[in-house]
Chains A and B, each alone.
Chain A
C-alpha cells in the first residue's frame, strides 16, 4: 500500500538565501495521507529546519494554505494522491505576499485589507442585557451563510491576477467580508463600508478582472465572483462607475459594441476575410442590457 513520492519544496532563509531555492524530499505515502501529513513527516524525520504554518489540521483554522502544483489551498485537506504530477508534488508559499521563511509568508497586508472594510456589525449596540434581537429574513441569512464560512486562508489572494498586477488591490477576501456585513440587516454602517471599497479607484473593487481564480481556490466554495460583481452592478446602476467603464456602457447602449468600429478596423476585417458586421448591434443587445439594469 505504502509508496514513495517526491515533495519538491520551496525553501528560503532570509539570513542565508538571496533567492528562494528548491529542495526535494522523499515522503512515505500511505493512502489517506494529506499534503500537510507529508510536510510534517519531512519536518519530524528528515529536515526539522523546514518552516510552515499549521494548526487545526482539520480545514477550519486557515493557517496552512500553500501553493500545491501552482494552485493555492490549505494543505491539511489536500490528499497527496490527488496531487501527484509525474511522481512529484510541488509545494510553494502563497504568491502575492513576501516570504518570511520557507512556506511562511507575511500576511500583514491581507489582514490590513480585511480591517479596512470595517468587518463588524456597526449597529451601535453593544449591550450586555436585553433581548432586543433584530429580526432577519431568511433571504438576509442566506446571503450571510453564503459568505461567512471564509476561514481567511488567503488562498484567493495568492491566486488573484489583479493582486499580481497591483498588490494594493483590496482583494477578494475583504470584498467578501464587506458583502457579508452589507447583507446583515442589523448593521448600520451602510455606505461607509462601501465608500472604502469604491473610493479607492484603481485599487478598489474595479481592479478585479473577474478571472474567477479566487472562487476556484476557495476551500469553502464561497461565490467570490458573485460578491464582487454585485458591488460593481450596484455602483454602476447608481452611476458611480469609473469613467472608462461608463463610456464602455454608453457604447454598448448606443451601438451594441464596446467601442466604435472605425474605417481601419472595417478594412482589416475585410482583408482578413471576416464577415461584415451590422453597423449597429444595439437593438439586439437592448433586452439584455435592460434586464441587467445597464440600460434604462
Chain B
C-alpha cells in the first residue's frame, strides 16, 4: 500500500484520457494516467470509420452543426455543439502534425497506377450517416487504431507517467471535494492511494451492459458507476446507441464507412428496404433510424434465411476499393463470420455501441463535483443528445479531451492538495478482501449474462413500459443476488476473476440507471424508441434527464436543453 501524489490523475487511457494528459502536462501540471489497460489496448482502438471536420471549402460549419443537432433529435446542447464543430478542423490538423497519416485524396488511384511521383496534399473525406456532406476524415477503416497509436506515442514523447493495468476501485471524496482515487495494481495485487488536486474520468462507455455489443470486454461503465456512487449525477442515460451493422452473431463492429463507400443493406427477400424507412438517405440515414429499420425487418420475419440478421452487400464496390479503403472489414468477415465480402454479403444486425449519456460536464470537462473532470464517452457534455452521428465521437475525444486537460491544469494551479478521509485505503482494502473471500452460491458470469440478456431484450432498440419494468426489477434482483457471489480467492496477482466481479458492480449500477431513465421518458427521441409512445414530445420532454443516487434510491431530475440557432423541427431523412 503506497500513496502516490500528482496534480492531476486521469483514469482511463483511451483517446480522450491521453489527449487530456498531454494537454495538462504541456500546461505544466504533474499528470499521471491510471488505466486498467495498457493505453494501446483501450477501446478507442476499435473505432473504424473516421472523424468529422469541416476542412473542405465547399463544406460549412453551419451544415455540420445542423447535421449534428438534427442527428441528436434536438436534445444536444447547441452551445456545446458549436464548440465541437468550430474546433474540429484545427484538431484534425493537430492530429496530422502529431503523426497521424490520414487517407489522402488520390492515394488509392496513385497506388493502383503505380504512379508514385505525384504529391498528395489533401485529406480525403468520406460520406457518413445523417450528414449532408462527405466530411469524415479517415485512415483506411482503422481510424481509431491509428489515432490511438499516434496519441500514445505523443504521450511517450511528452513523458507522462502511466500506471498501466491499475484498476481504479473508487473515487476518494471528502466534504464535497474529490481528492484522488484508490486503484488496484493488477500485477502485484496491491492497493494504492492516488492523491490528486484534480481527477479526470476518461473511462469510456458501458457497452457490456448488453448481450450483443460492439464494445470490448473491458467496457463496463466503471467511471460512470464510481462517480454515481459518490452522488455525482448521470445525464441522459436512457440514450444508448445501437450501431446498425454489428457482425452476426458476435456483434463486432462493421464500420459505417462500408455504407459510406456505398454498401447496400438487403433483407431476406433481396430488397434494399431502407427505401421504406428513409428514402432520401437510404443506407446513410442516421444510426438510430437504420438500426430500427433492420430490427423491424428481422422481427417481421424478413431476416436472411429466417435468421436474425440481414445482409450488408459490398460486392458491387469491387475488389480494389474494398482492399484499399475497407481492408479490415474484409479481414473481420473472413475471421469471424467465415464470409469474404468480395464474394458474399456480410451478415449483420444492430449491436449496442455507444453511450450518449454520462457524467454531466461543462464545456471544459468540469463536473458538478469540485475537482472532478470528465471527457470522452463517459462524459455527457451533451453534444450527441439523443443520437450521435458517426464520426463525431472520435472528434469529441480530441476536442474535449484537450479542453478538459487544459481546464484541469488551470484548476490545480493555486489549489491545495485536498484532504482524504482517514483510513480510506484500509477501508477499501477490507472491501476488496471481503469480496475475495466471498463464498456464496451465486456466480459472477451467470449474473452478468442474465443482466446482459434482459437489458438487450427489454431495454434495447424497441422499448415498452412493461418489459422495461421487468428489466429494472431483474437488475435490482441481480444486485441482491450479487451479495451472495462466489470467488475462488487465492492470489491477488493478476486475479481477473476479482476484476470481473468489480466490473459487474459497475454494470449493475449503470443498468439500473439506464432502465429507470428509459421507463420515465414517455416519448420517442433519437435512439430511445418507445412503442407505447412512438412520437417525440417537445412539449414535455425537450429536456435532459439527471439521475442521482440517494442512499438505496435513484432520484430523477431534469434540466433544459440549450438551443441557440436551430429550433426543433420534425426529424425526417
Given contacts A58-B46, A62-B41, contact A120 B217 (CB under 8 A): no
| Contact B38–A58 (Cβ < 8 Å) | no
A291: interface (CB < 8 Å): no
| Contact A149–B120 (Cβ < 8 Å) | no
| Contact A136–B496 (Cβ < 8 Å) | no
Q: Cβ of A62: which chain B residues have Cβ within 8 Å of it?
A: 40-41, 45
C-beta contact mask, A52-70 vs B, less than 8 Å → 1, else 0? 1111111111110000000
A196: interface (CB < 8 Å): no
Question: Quick one: which of B97, B146, B153, B252 contacts A126, CB cutoff 8 A?
Answer: B97
Question: What is the minimal beta-carbon distance from A75 to any residue of chain B, in angstroms?
Answer: 12
Question: Quick one: which of B253, B336, B444, B493 contacts A77, CB cutoff 8 A?
Answer: B336
Given contacts A32-B338, A152-B40, contact A127 B93 (CB under 8 A): yes
Given contacts A56-B46, A128-B94, contact A101 B216 (CB under 8 A): no
- Alpha-carbon gap, A115 to B43, bound state (A): 21
Main secondary structure of the interface of A (DSSP, over half): loop
| Contact A58–B332 (Cβ < 8 Å) | yes
B96: interface (CB < 8 Å): yes
A272: interface (CB < 8 Å): no
Q: Cβ of A101: which chain B residues have Cβ within 8 Å of it?
A: 491, 493-494
A135: interface (CB < 8 Å): yes
| Contact B97–A121 (Cβ < 8 Å) | yes
| Contact A136–B154 (Cβ < 8 Å) | no
- Alpha-carbon gap, A181 to B156, bound state (A): 15
- Alpha-carbon gap, A16 to B119, bound state (A): 61
| Contact B491–A13 (Cβ < 8 Å) | yes
- Alpha-carbon gap, A149 to B218, bound state (A): 22
Q: Cβ of B464: which chain A residues have Cβ within 8 Å of it?
A: none
Which residue of chain B has its CB nearest to the CB of A106? Answer: B187
| Contact A120–B153 (Cβ < 8 Å) | yes
A288: interface (CB < 8 Å): no
- Alpha-carbon gap, A15 to B89, bound state (A): 53
Question: What is the minimal beta-carbon distance from B256 to any residue of chain A, in angstroms?
Answer: 16
B111: interface (CB < 8 Å): yes
Question: What is the minimal beta-carbon distance from A267 to any residue of chain B, in angstroms?
Answer: 53
A138: interface (CB < 8 Å): yes
| Contact B98–A137 (Cβ < 8 Å) | no
How many residue pairs, one in A and one in B, have C-beta atoms under 8 Å apart? 181
Question: What is the minimal beta-carbon distance from B147 to any residue of chain A, in angstroms?
Answer: 11
B250: interface (CB < 8 Å): yes
Q: Cβ of A106: which chain B residues have Cβ within 8 Å of it?
A: 187
Question: Quick one: which of A16, A61, A115, A144 contacts B101, CB cutoff 8 A?
Answer: A144
| Contact A138–B154 (Cβ < 8 Å) | no
Q: Cβ of B99: which chain A residues have Cβ within 8 Å of it?
A: 120-121, 181, 184, 186-187
C-beta contact mask, B109-127 vs A, less than 8 Å → 1, else 0? 0110001111111110000
* Contacts of B327-351 to chain A: CB distance below 8 A: 328, 331-332, 335-338
Question: What is the minimal beta-carbon distance from A123 to any residue of chain B, in angstroms?
Answer: 6
A275: interface (CB < 8 Å): no
Which of A43-51, A159-167, A199-207, A230-238 lies at the interface with chain B?
A: A43-51
A107: interface (CB < 8 Å): yes
| Band of interface residues on A | 35 or more
| Contact A137–B332 (Cβ < 8 Å) | no
| Contact B490–A49 (Cβ < 8 Å) | yes
Q: Cβ of A132: which chain B residues have Cβ within 8 Å of it?
A: 93
C-beta contact mask, B494-508 vs A, less than 8 Å → 1, else 0? 111100000000000
A85: interface (CB < 8 Å): no
- Alpha-carbon gap, A14 to B187, bound state (A): 11
A244: interface (CB < 8 Å): no
* Contacts of A128-148 to chain B: CB distance below 8 A: 128-139, 141-142, 144-145, 148
- Alpha-carbon gap, A139 to B118, bound state (A): 9
Q: Cβ of A104: which chain B residues have Cβ within 8 Å of it?
A: 494
Question: Quick one: which of B97, B122, B444, B493 contacts A14, CB cutoff 8 A?
Answer: B493
| Contact B494–A138 (Cβ < 8 Å) | no
A295: interface (CB < 8 Å): no
| Contact A136–B120 (Cβ < 8 Å) | yes
Q: Cβ of A13: which chain B residues have Cβ within 8 Å of it?
A: 490-491, 493
Question: Quick one: which of B38, B111, B336, B490 contacts A107, CB cutoff 8 A?
Answer: B38
Q: Cβ of A186: which chain B residues have Cβ within 8 Å of it?
A: 97, 99
| Contact B38–A49 (Cβ < 8 Å) | no
Q: Cβ of A123: which chain B residues have Cβ within 8 Å of it?
A: 97
| Contact B335–A136 (Cβ < 8 Å) | no
Question: Quick one: which of B38, B94, B115, B253 contacts A138, CB cutoff 8 A?
Answer: B115
- Alpha-carbon gap, A141 to B121, bound state (A): 12
- Alpha-carbon gap, A101 to B188, bound state (A): 10
Question: What is the minimal beta-carbon distance from A179 to any residue of chain B, in angstroms?
Answer: 14
B419: interface (CB < 8 Å): no
| Contact B98–A120 (Cβ < 8 Å) | yes
Question: What is the minimal beta-carbon distance from B59 to any residue of chain A, in angstroms?
Answer: 14
B417: interface (CB < 8 Å): no
| Contact B120–A137 (Cβ < 8 Å) | yes
A19: interface (CB < 8 Å): no
Q: Cβ of B187: which chain A residues have Cβ within 8 Å of it?
A: 100, 106
| Contact B111–A142 (Cβ < 8 Å) | yes
A223: interface (CB < 8 Å): no
Q: Cβ of A54: which chain B residues have Cβ within 8 Å of it?
A: 217
Of the A-B pairs whose beta carbons lie under 8 Å apart in the complex, a sample of 26, sorted by A's number, is A14-B491, A15-B493, A32-B336, A44-B445, A48-B444, A49-B488, A55-B41, A57-B217, A57-B250, A58-B336, A61-B45, A61-B46, A61-B216, A126-B98, A128-B91, A130-B90, A133-B121, A133-B122, A135-B121, A138-B107, A138-B110, A138-B118, A141-B111, A148-B101, A151-B40, A186-B99
- Please list the residues of chain A having a beta carbon within 8 angstroms of any beta carbon in chain B: 13-16, 32, 34, 43-45, 48-49, 51-63, 77, 79, 100-102, 104, 106-107, 111, 115, 118-121, 123, 125-139, 141-142, 144-145, 148-149, 151-152, 181, 184, 186-187
- Please list the residues of chain B having a beta carbon within 8 angstroms of any beta carbon in chain A: 37-38, 40-43, 45-46, 55, 89-91, 93-94, 96-99, 101, 104, 106-107, 110-111, 115-123, 140, 142, 145-146, 149-150, 153-154, 156-157, 187, 216-218, 249-250, 252-253, 328, 331-332, 335-338, 402, 444-445, 487-488, 490-491, 493-497
Which 9 residue pairs spanning A and B have beta carbons closest together?
A: A121-B99, A138-B110, A44-B445, A139-B116, A101-B494, A120-B153, A15-B491, A77-B335, A135-B121
